Structure 1
């Protein structure tokens, strides 16, 4: 039997920073991360992996070079590897990210919104 139940609402209550993903679980070589989005992120891509966005609370958008994907509570979108994208949220949004271990949130773009990896909550 599984020994650790992850309650996402409880995990989101433990931090307030925006654009700073926190790991809540691992499966094989993948991490499940919670993050709070507000405002605009940076344009970036992940050359070697897809990235999953699942909106737990609120609404957000993902700008792509050829359009915008709008996500509401309960919606999920997979950004294919190598596709430039820029997440944004007009109001605070709670998101579950699913991606391989070691993925840097800003890709190779870097900058002040680059978060430290492997921070657990």
Structure 2
């Protein structure tokens, strides 16, 4: 007779090393290229470096959190611009058309559901999937 073995789901081991944003940002130089640095539930935490103007787009099904790590970011909205300095964040609500603009190189942290495209519904040549950053 076979022994009954109870199946249990292993408890995830918590990370023991904090993520240093400055170190992660030093690992890449590409502009407008999102780098995934962590997962939170069904969301990805991503870093990006921006300079210039992106593309007008919306994310019909999700909000998008922008946190400026360094530099200055203008989020153009049809209702008026939102200017973010280092240490400030703004959540663009789902369905709100926006266009990020950075006059100087700016580093940002993004929080959005896994698989969210950077160009939202606009598509085009700037569309890139987030790359994991080791």
Provide TM-score, normalisation by structure 1.
0.96
Provide TM-score, normalisation by structure 2.
0.87
Structure 2, unpaired ranges of 5+: 1-13
Matches for 1:4-15 after TM superposition, within 5 Å = 4-15=17-28
| In 1, Cα distance between equivalents of 2:44 and 2:129 | 14
Tell which structure's C-alpha radius of gyration is larger. 2
Residue 112 of structure 1 and its aligned partner are, at CA, apart by 1.7
Residue 6 of structure 1 and its aligned partner are, at CA, apart by 0.6
Q: Does 1:120 align with 2:122?
A: no
RMSD over aligned Cα atoms: 0.9
Q: Of Structure 1 and Structure 2, which has the larger fraction of its residues in strand? A: 1
Residue 3 of structure 1 and its aligned partner are, at CA, apart by 1.8
Show the counterpart of 2:4: none
Structure 1, unpaired ranges of 5+: none
Q: Does 1:104 align with 2:103?
A: no
Deviation >4 Å, runs of 4+: none
